[in-house]
Structure 1
């Protein structure tokens, strides 16, 4: 039985990458285990690879959810951004205050969860996303992927190839993490100083900033395009929220910023740095997506 329970973290990692939502990933894992425990002992014993069975079921649930998520996100108020994750040392539990966080409830942070990568995944068809993540990230064979996606292995190979091409076309060469951190820190300092010229200098002229407020009244409902426009908006925000504290934090495994008011996280910002300029900023303000950053903060 412990072998079944030990699959939990793997399933959570898989589902988060497939769905871009920790809350949805947790629901998928719960549903997967519910289906396992709904079987009789004889049915369970007849399964050669329980881990493989759990992965197959979780993958199929995710595939169904991705189909319905597309319709849900078309009705979403404003832009939809994947749910940001903190570094494991900063993770706070969504359970009762003081309850320790189970390591199985954490997602491993690597290049397959950085925000730029997850945003590209959002542009893929559900089948492309599932085939690519299962094969290229988790190293399942195309025969195994085919069982989950319901296509032939050759078709799954094509899906993964198409997804790989999308990734290549959208991503600039990686900027070293230390360099990214320095640029994000400079952005923080310029923002705090309300230095618009410094902000403009750090932003690519064609940069975009996207905010996800989940329908909050004061949310930005459309992307802001252009480095100068983003810089001016950042200065406006600093003027409107004088008691805001900006902290350097790891967001989905990369340097990012967190804005707090009265000690409570209200915005998590992820950055895409190309060379020595910021190309994209994703600011998540939807309270439902900030649970790992805010729950138990009063403890």
Structure 2
């Protein structure tokens, strides 16, 4: 076995956790893969034999890469329609799935978008992955005490800003009512299941670079009616421990709707409208 193959095997042993960290920091499966790949490239260029704690070293590298990506993303955001849309993650990596199941999924990712890059990284690394503040400090360029304060501020904002999802049975009732109202063209029934401040985010993926954002129950209901189609069917699926709707046309997946249901109403809808990416997801359909 040559040195590169051996190093790749050592890296693969940490890949699942690195990808989970990057996804929670970035909220994007594709960007998380990019961050992990960059960590691999940096490892290959380093003196791997001199790294005493490879897992910790790789987590630090991924953290720095993610922080740079978050800062770059923030600098690019000038148009309010260029708002980030968290991606659903479903794969066959048991460690990654366990991390996703233990968190609050898309609802948390939406709240994390309101944090500064440094706050977000400190919170995710410490609160979700147990990284010590002494290790976080050099990544964010602060002292351990300052890194602790970053995580503390983020924690307070998450607690006050994150909607508490209803239990799964209640979520199913609300999503069923939404689907029935959309199919029937019932505007008032849609308003009844949508929170007045509901936010709809649409990611078109490779089909269109810009991302659309619609706010308010009336506007979201109008969009739901405008894009309903007799040839499309919707099936409820699990996304990050919450409920979603897989939209198909003639049996072919075309889009995925992630629903955040809290207080008996839908407070957020995140749509992945890239059929190619939707088809690649391994979704669990509900009976």
Instruction: Compute the TM-score of the two structures, normalised by the length of structure 1.
Output: 0.81
RMSD value over aligned CA atoms? Answer: 2.7
Q: Verify the 8 A CA contact 1:78 1:221 in the aligned structure 2.
A: yes
1:48 to 48, 52, 65: 52
Q: Verify the 8 A CA contact 1:56 1:148 in the aligned structure 2.
A: yes
Unmatched runs of 5 consecutive residues or more in structure 1: 89-100
Q: Verify the 8 A CA contact 1:13 1:107 in the aligned structure 2.
A: no
Matched position secondary structure for 2:227: helix
Tell me the matched-pair count.
274
Instruction: Map 1:68-107 to 2 at 5 A.
Output: 68-74=72-78, 78-86=82-90, 88=91
Tell me the equivalent position of 1:294. Answer: 279
1:236 to 226, 237, 260: 226
Paired with 2:233 and 2:98, the residues of 1 have a C-alpha distance of 27
Matched position secondary structure for 1:209: strand
1:57 to 43, 61, 69: 61
The question of 1:7 aligning with 2:11 is answered no
How far is the alpha carbon of 1:142 from its aligned partner? 0.8
Does the C-alpha gap of structure 1 residues 267 and 79 become closer, same or farther in structure 2, counting only changes over 3 Å?
farther
How far is the alpha carbon of 1:44 from its aligned partner? 2.0
Does the C-alpha gap of structure 1 residues 4 and 232 become closer, same or farther in structure 2, counting only changes over 3 Å?
closer
1:201 to 181, 192, 195: 192
Paired with 2:260 and 2:203, the residues of 1 have a C-alpha distance of 16
Tell me the equivalent position of 1:118. Answer: 109
Does the C-alpha gap of structure 1 residues 14 and 222 become closer, same or farther in structure 2, counting only changes over 3 Å?
closer
Instruction: Map 1:255-274 to 2 at 5 A.
Output: 255-274=243-262
Q: Which moved more, 1:55-64 or 1:142-151?
A: 142-151
2:155 to 164, 184, 189: 164
Does the C-alpha gap of structure 1 residues 70 and 263 become closer, same or farther in structure 2, counting only changes over 3 Å?
farther
1:66 to 58, 63, 70: 70
Unmatched runs of 5 consecutive residues or more in structure 2: 1-5, 283-287
Does the C-alpha gap of structure 1 residues 202 and 76 become closer, same or farther in structure 2, counting only changes over 3 Å?
closer
Does the C-alpha gap of structure 1 residues 291 and 25 become closer, same or farther in structure 2, counting only changes over 3 Å?
farther
Taking CA–CA contacts closer than 8 Å with sequence separation of 6 or more, which of the two structures ends up with the larger relative contact order? 1
Q: Which moved more, 1:68-77 or 1:139-148?
A: 68-77
Does the C-alpha gap of structure 1 residues 159 and 184 become closer, same or farther in structure 2, counting only changes over 3 Å?
same
